[in-house]
A and B are shown apart, each in its own frame.
Chain A
Amino acid sequence: MKTTELLEILNGIFRKVLKREDITLTESTTAHDVDGWDSLTNMILLTEIENKFGVRFSFREIVKLKNVGDLCQTIQNKTK
């Protein structure tokens, strides 16, 4: 899946979970840039993403995620 398609799907998940329509993610977006993306909502977001793509993130993978680009990369590696 192309990164642009992936970002579209992630936008949908983030908008739904964080209840904000104005979220547009890019590869360089970090939690700091998105209102409401905190430790608590991060758990919900990751679960939604895992369900959507039928993948499971390990603890090590999650620790390494520094921005949305890393997240895309991890999903792409898992769905290859």
Chain B
Amino acid sequence: MKKKNDADMLAAIVRASNHHAMRPALVLDDRTYTYQELFGLVGSLCETLKNLKEDIIGITAENCIETYASILAVLLSGKTYVILHPDYPAERNCRIARQSGIGLLLYCGENGNMLPADINARRVCFSSHQPTSYSGIMPYNVDPEVPAYIIFTSGSTGEPKGVPISRNNLNAFYQAYRNLGWELDENDRMLQMFELTFDVSIVSFLYPLTLGACVYTVPQKGMKYLNVLDIMERHRLTFAAVAPSVLRLSHPYFKEISFPDLRYLIVTAEATDVNLLHEFRPCIPNATVVNLYGPTEATIYCTSYVIPTEGAKHHNGMAAIGKPFQGMDYMIASPSGKPLPAGETGELWIAGPQLMNGYWRAPEKTAECFVTDLSGKLYYRTGDLCLTDSDGDIMYCGRKDTQVKIQGFRIELGEIEYHVKTFYKHSCNAVVLPVYTTDGSCELHLAIERETEDTESLEQYMQSHLPSYMLPRRIHFIPCFPQNNSNKVDRNQLLKNITQ
């Protein structure tokens, strides 16, 4: 019994909240909340949720204590949460709400109208819940296959795909993540910079709470990378998981940046440029740098690589992603699905207890991404091209298809193309191309096969259907797309045309 409890992430959080009641749990816009304050609010929300029949709970993403308390309350009451983002187009939130079957929306302030009236979900404003007196919370005993959360990722048909992560998945992740050998305790100060619609936010927020440590969230107002650096410096954070774009954008100020208290820097969400990291090293003299990789479908992260100060392994400058988490297995697969020897590039397939059971209510999409090897083992096809070196470290070599990552968000270019073609009522072709600038960042360019015209109404249409990170930075009109030998649009030639 004791052993089972030890493996449960939520039970560990409840234990830490009781043990460290008077210690700081969350610092948000420079206001500190103790474990007692945070879990007082969680307890009150849990009471409300337990008396309601709805199981899929929408939560509006805001940088406020109520949002974080709601996530914890949904998890502890044995239900499933889905994040809706006030900055995302209403249409996208609507699709997510419909697809996931949200029965209740927990919102803050003015966001009660985020979903149109025809979405039949109960609206509950969480600021109306005053913290009750602090009393022990127990995680609700629930079927471990019940999803803890559903994260929506980009889908090529214009319909976002729901990734449900069960309690079993989350606990398998927790076990493996703990075993990475962190030396962390209740005195640590840890960063949470990610949007709550992105799964790295979940570990950035939940893991510190298992230790009794303090989480520092980043205001979404203003320039985010500056807010991140400001918080890391002023609060002398000891642990920070960041997207490499934070390093890229702060490059001009490396000489002025100093984080001597930082003991761990996690780079994640996209490929890390080892040269840029090398230049950043003097800013973080006492930190171990770890590259963590994983698709949302395999619960946040599933491989790790400690990037050494000298002799970092990389492929075309992109840091190695290292070895699989304990309990996880992988294979580098040839196009015909055979395992490839070390040194050969193929698609990374992942197996193990962190894998989701399948996309939410989308069996055909699930069938496309899962594959069974000759021994009957179930793998998830990541779509990432990788190879292993002679030490068994995995190198990331790029995306197999037309998915790209921008600001940590995985984007299927087909989804943007789909909306553009819909705008033109499918009367012309549209291609979105990732253009990598000299500093390694990715910009989306949209090429439309027609004569040049005003783009204002198209831009408005895209803004109302796509989140801002998916909006193309440039629009090009090309009357006739180049074609390759098999009469497909020659994306490489098109890229040359638009970047010349």
* Interfacial residues, chain A to chain B (CB-CB below 8 A): 30-32, 38-40, 42-43, 47, 58-60, 62-63, 66
CB distance from B53 to the nearest CB of A (A): 39
B225 touches A39 (CB 8 A): yes
Which residues of A have CB within 8 Å of B221? 30, 32
Contact A39-B223, Cβ < 8 Å, known A59-B229, A63-B229: yes
Q: How many residues of B contact A (CB 8 A)?
A: 16
A42 touches B223 (CB 8 A): yes
CB distance from B442 to the nearest CB of A (A): 11
Summed over the interface, the residue pairs from A and B with CB atoms below 8 Å come to a total of 31
Which residues of B have CB within 8 Å of A66? 222
B252 touches A30 (CB 8 A): no
Contact of A43 among B222, B224, B252, B257 (CB under 8 A): B252
Contact of A40 among B230, B249, B256, B257 (CB under 8 A): B249
Interface centre among B221, B222, B249 (most CB of A within 10 A): B222
* Interfacial residues, chain B to chain A (CB-CB below 8 A): 221-226, 229-230, 245, 249-250, 252-253, 256-257, 441
Contact A31-B222, Cβ < 8 Å, known A39-B245, A40-B441, A63-B230: yes
Chain B binding surface SS class? helix
Which residues of B have CB within 8 Å of A47? 252
Which residues of A have CB within 8 Å of B252? 43, 47
Who on chain A is nearest to B459 by CB?
A35
Which residues of B have CB within 8 Å of A58? 253, 256
CB distance from B456 to the nearest CB of A (A): 11
Chain A binding surface SS class? helix
Who on chain B is nearest to A42 by CB?
B223
CB distance from B449 to the nearest CB of A (A): 23
Which residues of A have CB within 8 Å of B256? 58-60
CB distance from B30 to the nearest CB of A (A): 14
B226 touches A62 (CB 8 A): yes
Interface centre among B223, B226, B256, B441 (most CB of A within 10 A): B223
Which residues of A have CB within 8 Å of B225? 39
Who on chain B is nearest to A41 by CB?
B473
B253 touches A31 (CB 8 A): no
CB distance from B158 to the nearest CB of A (A): 24
Alpha-carbon distance A31/B227, docked complex (angstroms): 14
Alpha-carbon distance A39/B245, docked complex (angstroms): 10
B249 touches A39 (CB 8 A): yes
Alpha-carbon distance A38/B257, docked complex (angstroms): 21
CB distance from B144 to the nearest CB of A (A): 39
B230 touches A43 (CB 8 A): no
B226 touches A63 (CB 8 A): yes
Alpha-carbon distance A40/B249, docked complex (angstroms): 7
Who on chain B is nearest to A50 by CB?
B252
The 7 A-B pairs at the shortest CB distance, nearest first, are namely A59-B253, A59-B256, A63-B230, A63-B226, A39-B225, A39-B223, A42-B223
Which residues of A have CB within 8 Å of B224? 39
Which residues of A have CB within 8 Å of B257? 59
Which residues of A have CB within 8 Å of B249? 39-40, 43
Contact A30-B222, Cβ < 8 Å, known A58-B256, A59-B256: yes
Alpha-carbon distance A30/B257, docked complex (angstroms): 25
Q: List 7 A-B contacts (CB under 8 A).
A: A38-B223, A39-B225, A39-B249, A59-B229, A59-B253, A59-B257, A62-B226
Who on chain A is nearest to B250 by CB?
A59
Who on chain B is nearest to A37 by CB?
B223
CB distance from A23 to the nearest CB of B (A): 16
CB distance from B245 to the nearest CB of A (A): 7
Which residues of A have CB within 8 Å of B230? 63
Which residues of B have CB within 8 Å of A32? 221
Sample of 11 further A-B pairs with CB below 8 A, known A42-B223, A62-B226: A30-B221, A31-B223, A32-B221, A40-B441, A58-B256, A59-B229, A59-B250, A59-B253, A59-B256, A63-B226, A63-B230
